[in-house]
Amino acid sequence: MNKPIRMALTKGRLEKDTVGLLEMLGFDCTAVREKGRKLILPVPDANLEVVLAKANDVITYVEHGVCDMGVVGKDTIMEMKGKFYELVDLGFGKCKFALATKKGYDFYSGYGIKTIATKYPNVARSFFEKKGMDTEIIKIEGSVELAPLLELADGIVDIVETGTTLKENGLEVIEDVAPISARLIANTVSLKMRHAEIDRLITLIEENL
């Protein structure tokens, strides 16, 4: 048998959903389910080796070809870009990027430059560039919702899933930026060199989505 195909999975929810998908396809994921602190786990009957990584690192490993494939959110793909193939929308990990402000705030009024806080500066920048709107983008590392509450920013561009965090902090979505879901990605060289195996896996996944 060929050496296993290495698949980087974004740790956490996307990892769980991907393991669920692989099991639905009939593959035994016991080693991943009982991983303890191990980071590289076999899925032998799929000839896969699962690598558990943070979202940004999934892209780095796939881009550099040390992992053949990866599962990562469209949010990370949009922010990081990079050279790899985006093959399948896996349909899980659904949420959206949205522009939100304090409830009732009239974001589009006035001529002053608006300040936007976000964990995703590239996504925010390109959203406002497309509108032809000049903005100041401030990078925040976590709980971006704080920025308008502390009067640091006029608005935020962030991930909204249930909307609870916005609601509980007196904020509201004023515009959707982009839908997000988990994507299967592949290294460009791996896709050529191991086309038959990767194609078989993709077909199997697509038939079961």
CB of 119 to ligand PRP, least distance (A): 6
CB of 205 to ligand PRP, least distance (A): 25
Nearer to ligand PRP, 19 or 159 (CB): 159
CB of 15 to ligand PRP, least distance (A): 14
Nearer to ligand PRP, 149 or 204 (CB): 149
Nearer to ligand PRP, 141 or 207 (CB): 141
Q: Is 42 in the site for ligand PRP (CB under 6 A)?
A: no
Tokens of 57: 């690192």
CB of 95 to ligand PRP, least distance (A): 7
Nearer to ligand PRP, 145 or 154 (CB): 145
Nearer to ligand PRP, 9 or 160 (CB): 160
Q: Is 56 in the site for ligand PRP (CB under 6 A)?
A: no
Q: Is 157 in the site for ligand PRP (CB under 6 A)?
A: no
173 to 202, contacts with ligand PRP by CB under 6 A? none
If DSSP states are collapsed to H, E and C, what string results for the chain? CCCCEEEEEECCHHHHHHHHHHHHCCCCCHHHHCCCCCCEEEEHHHCEEEEEECHHHHHHHHHCCCCCEEEEEHHHHHHHCCCCEEEEECCCCCEEEEEEEECCCCCCCCCCCEEEEECCHHHHHHHHHHCCCCEEEEECCCCCCHHHHCCCCCEEEEEECCCHHHHHCCEEEEEEEEEECEEEEECHHHHHHCHHHHHHHHHHHHHHC
Which of 17, 57, 75, 158 forms a contact with ligand PRP (CB under 6 A)?
A: 158
Q: Is 104 left (phi over 0), alpha (psi -120 to 50) or beta?
A: left
Q: Is 160 in the site for ligand PRP (CB under 6 A)?
A: yes
The residues that touch ligand PRP, with contacts defined as CB under 6 A, are 142-143, 145, 158-165
